[in-house]
Amino acid sequence: MKTRASTRNQVTDSLFISLVVPKKIDEALKDKSWIMAMQEEVNQFERNEVWKLVPPPKHQDVIGRKWVFRNKLDEQGKVVRNKARLVARWYSQQEGIDFDETFAPVARLHGELLK
C-alpha cells in the first residue's frame, strides 16, 4: 500500500503550491495547484470507498456542498501544501428524507497531549 507521504516528490510538489487561498471555486479553478488539491480529495473518496455517484432523486432536494480551501503550514509558517475539502452543507438536510445515519468528526490527538 502506498501512502501520500511515500509517493510525494518534494521538488515537483513545491512547484505547484499556491500561497493565495481562493474564496470561491471560480478562483480555485484558475490555479493548477488548487485543481490538483481538489483532485486529491476526490481520489481519497474513491480510494476509501466513501461515496458513490448516483442520479439525483426526482422529488427530493439534493444536499448542497461546497469546497473549502486551506494552506497547510510547516513549523516555520511556510506553505507546504494546498488542501481542498469537499463538504456537505448539513443544515439543508431533513431527518428521514435526506439521511438516516449521522457521523461525528474525529479528532486526532498529538502524542504530547496524550501524556
Q: What is the pLDDT of residues 37-46, one digit of tens each?
A: 999 999 998 8
Round to whole Å and give the CA distance between 101 and 98. 10
pLDDT value at 101 more than 90: no
pTM > 0.85: no
pLDDT at 97: 61
Q: Which residue has the higher pLDDT, 69 or 6?
A: 69
Q: Which residue has the higher pLDDT, 78 or 7?
A: 78
Q: What percent of the chain has pLDDT over 70?
A: 64
Round to whole Å and give the CA distance between 97 and 27. 34
